[in-house]
Amino acid sequence: MPTPAAPPSLGRKLLFSCLITLALLALAETVAQWCRARWPLEWRGEVRWQSSAFPDKEPAYRIFRDELHIQDVPDAILMHHARPGQRATTFHINSRGLRGPEPAVPRPAGLVRVLLLGGSVVWGTGASGDDATIAACLQRELARRWQPARVEVINAGYLGYASCQESLLYQLHADDLRPDVVVTLGGFNDFREAMMRGLANAHDCSLAAARQAAASRQAEVFGLRPTLRRWLRNSAIVDGIYMQLASRGFVRPWPTHTDPVLVARAVSIWRRNLTALATIARQRNTPCFFALQPALGVGHKALTAEEQEAARREARRWTQDPIASLRLYFDAARQQLPALATESRCVAADLTDVFDAEARTIYVDPCHTGDDGHALIARRLAEVVAAGFSPAAK
């Protein structure tokens, strides 16, 4: 009689089971990726595109669909930036990783170049296209005020950037782009980060210090743990499960830190970073203009029902009311604007009231707006910049 075959060992069984499990997970992830690509906003429960701040819903859907597909590149100095060369229906990333057309290098003679720094509001979340961002609107406003001079405003904002990253980004591009004017619009990301983490760490935002520290950041940015976190963030299965749990209140809300000492320290670091930026720009004879950005509930705008609902959606993600808590940071920042202007020898403007006279829906979340909001911010920024700088002074 033939000898019966030996049963597979336990190790082989476990290996086979793992391979089958991985294959099923890969298949499930492929299906989930297809579904997320087919219905991206529905997959994440994204509702901002339904706001009346967007008169046409189909273009609004494209705005937030495209933003979900932005590809980030890890960076040891800036932590992250947009992958150069990306194109979507509503945005284009140039070879420098900045949104909008390619800036000419060297700067053409006779061109007045403005570098606009900031976070996602400056980048253009909610903008229907590159020509509807704050940078594009500001370019048109300044061109009208400074005619016949040729004006270019470069959009140097990106998602999540705070004051230190703004300073580093300026230093990275200043020698090539040679802007005549530097404008920042921010504050929200600095203060929100401090409110969430309960700490505000001061960093040396000089490019030399950042490059020196870049080697120690390699593991933080490119190591196994951050790589695994990026993979999990990109996983459609993980993304779908998280968003469903979050919508049902099963995800632990973010802590809300409003200790007066923390608030004062966060605002002090924000002021110090901008002062350092002004000092670096002054070495290149470049004037700076600093603007404290508007945010939901921070100014005196009468909130519409839609904006109140946006505030409630945001509140579900925090342990305490984030709008009222963030107002403490902005109130402290407003009080520091005169000191910032004195220390930096620059103009420091308060734009938190830019929407106060608007009865319609402007905000679609705590800080982002549609095209109308971008145009209003750009108009106020143009007034501030034009009052403090003239092309004739070049």
| 253 φ/ψ angles, rounded to the nearest 5 degrees | -70, 155
pLDDT at position 266 is: 96
What is the pLDDT at residue 221?
56
Residues of the chain with pLDDT under 50: none
Contacts of 57 (CB under 8 A, 6+ apart): 49, 50
pLDDT on residue 45: 80
What pLDDT, on the 0 to 100 scale, is given for residue 107? 95
Which of these, 362, 390, 182, 212, lies nearest to 274 by C-alpha position? 182
Q: Using alpha carbons, list the distances in angstroms from residue 133 to 122, 140, 141, 185, 355.
A: 7, 11, 12, 13, 17
For the domain made up of 39-98+114-389, the CATH class stated in words is alpha beta
**Domain range annotation of the chain:** 39-98+114-389
What token pair was written down for 166?
Answer: 């703004």
Question: Which residues have CB under 8 Å from 362's CB, separation 6+?
Answer: 53, 301, 307, 355, 369, 370, 372, 373, 376
Locus of tokens 């959606």: 313
The reported pLDDT for the residue numbered 235 is 76
Per-residue pLDDT at 289: 98
Beta bridge partners of 15: none
Contacts of 297 (CB under 8 A, 6+ apart): 303, 311, 323, 324, 326, 327, 366
> What count of other Cβ atoms lies within 10 Å of the Cβ of residue 90?
19
Task: Dig out the tokens for 177 from the structure.
Answer: 């782009």
Which tokens hold the place of 262?
């923390």
pLDDT of residue 37: 77
User: Any bridge partners for residue 82, and if so which?
Assistant: 72
Return the sign of the alpha-carbon dihedral for residues 338, 145, 123, 113.
negative
Q: Helix/strand/coil (H, E, C) string of 255-272?
A: CCCCCHHHHHHHHHHHHH
DSSP 203: -
CA–CA distance, 307 with 32 (Å, rounded to integer): 32
Can you give the pLDDT at residue 217? 60
Residue 16 burial (C-beta neighbours within 10 Å; 0-12, 13-18, 19+): exposed
